[in-house]
């Protein structure tokens, strides 16, 4: 195992410390318990947004803390949920009196620990709403979940709900926007290689040189099927078809197309996948109004990508376009 680390047990601590030093103008990092808040939190009168999950998916979630997106992020150990005693102080730190929305990926540990933290926060007088993200169409249940997994659609939920909170929407309205995005977004991923969790020291699964795994989650958990390697167009088609079908997209629909790298795939290859997906959508009369391409929710150094489509309307498009200024996503500010 070759990694730019010191002690495998200290990877998350040292990474988060470095993140805080690099982005000290935007965020404040708390070490014990570990959580990240935007520099100006709490923002008076604004609904707070908190998300989190296992580390190893950077820039999710810490990279999205800042104006127009999250107010706090809670990093757990690699691929392991943060605990309630991290989530609770992060929630309290961003509460301005308008309440807090928890954005939670549908993984069993995340769901249970955020539920516990929400109950504790409510006992302290903080109103909580939860948006559960379950955009993955690959499998209904997995090693980590009951129901569909929350994957790359989480980035879009955080951005659009964050914009709604920033414009002054109340607690229920922000949660409703988050739910609306989740209802209209679907994702599907592929792995070309496995990743190596630092404290494990070995790949999390084994793929032969000529094999790929279609429908993987962001931890490398199994997907729909393992097939021989094929070209980028063939892979893009395999990812796009179930997404379009599950969303029930039709000619005349407008969408955001998001091709996400899993951490080890060159940007040039992601654009090849994007090219094919955009062409296929156009051929079906579906207009790509907005786009995002890059490494936004990763699985350490895994080679592969995910393809996400969000059905847009005028309000969701305006909220996507709204100013955002975070370490990993910024425009218009």
Q: How far apart are CA 31 and CA 130, in angstroms?
A: 25
Concerning whether 23 is annotated as a catalytic residue, the answer is no
Q: How far apart are CA 9 and CA 198, in angstroms?
A: 8
**Other C-beta atoms lying within 10 Å of the C-beta of residue 10:** 13
Q: What string of DSSP letters covers 48-79?
A: EEEEEEEESSTTTTGGGBSBTSBSEEEEEEET
CB 149 within 8 A of CB 106: yes
Residue 120 DSSP one-character state: H
Catalytic one of 23, 57, 61, 102:
57
- Helix, strand, coil percentages, rounded to 5, for the chain: 35, 25, 40
Concerning whether 219 is annotated as a catalytic residue, the answer is yes
Strands 304-311 and 324-325: unpaired
CB 76 within 8 A of CB 106: no
Catalytic one of 23, 61, 102, 219:
219
- H/E stretch holding 135 reads none
Q: Which residues are catalytic?
A: 57, 219
């Amino acid at each position: 195992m070759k990694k730019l680390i010191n002690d495998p047990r200290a990877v998350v601590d040292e990474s988060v410390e470095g993140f805080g030093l690099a982005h000290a103008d935007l965020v404040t990092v708390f070490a014990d318990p570990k959580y990240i808040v935007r520099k100006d939190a709490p923002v008076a009168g604004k609904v707070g947004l908190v998300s989190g999950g296992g580390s190893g998916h950077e820039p999710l979630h810490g990279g999205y803390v800042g104006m127009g997106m999250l107010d706090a992020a809670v990093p757990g150990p690699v691929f392991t949920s943060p605990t309630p005693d991290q989530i609770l102080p992060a929630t309290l730190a961003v509460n301005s009196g308008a309440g807090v929305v928890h954005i939670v990926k549908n993984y069993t540990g995340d769901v249970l620990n955020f539920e516990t933290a929400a109950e504790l926060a409510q006992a302290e007088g903080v109103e909580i709403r939860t948006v559960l993200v379950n955009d993955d169409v690959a499998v209904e249940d997995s090693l980590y979940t009951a129901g569909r997994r929350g994957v790359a659609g989480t980035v879009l939920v955080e951005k659009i709900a964050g914009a709604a909170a920033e414009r002054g929407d109340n607690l229920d309205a922000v949660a409703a926007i988050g739910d609306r995005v989740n209802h209209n977004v679907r994702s599907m991923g592929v792995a070309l290689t496995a990743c190596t969790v630092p404290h494990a020291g070995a790949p999390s699964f084994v793929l032969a040189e000529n094999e790929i795994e279609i429908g993987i989650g962001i931890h490398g958990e199994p997907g729909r099927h393992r097939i021989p390697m094929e070209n980028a167009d063939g892979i893009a088609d395999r990812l796009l078809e179930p997404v379009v079908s599950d969303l029930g997209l039709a000619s005349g629909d407008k969408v955001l197309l998001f091709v996400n790298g899993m951490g080890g795939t060159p940007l040039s290859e992601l654009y090849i996948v994007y090219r094919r997906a955009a062409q296929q959508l156009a051929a079906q009369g579906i207009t790509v109004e907005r786009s995002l391409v890059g490494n936004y929710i990763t699985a350490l150094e895994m080679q592969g990508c995910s393809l996400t489509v969000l059905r847009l309307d005028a309000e969701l498009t305006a909220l996507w376009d709204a100013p955002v200024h975070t370490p990993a996503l910024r425009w218009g500010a």
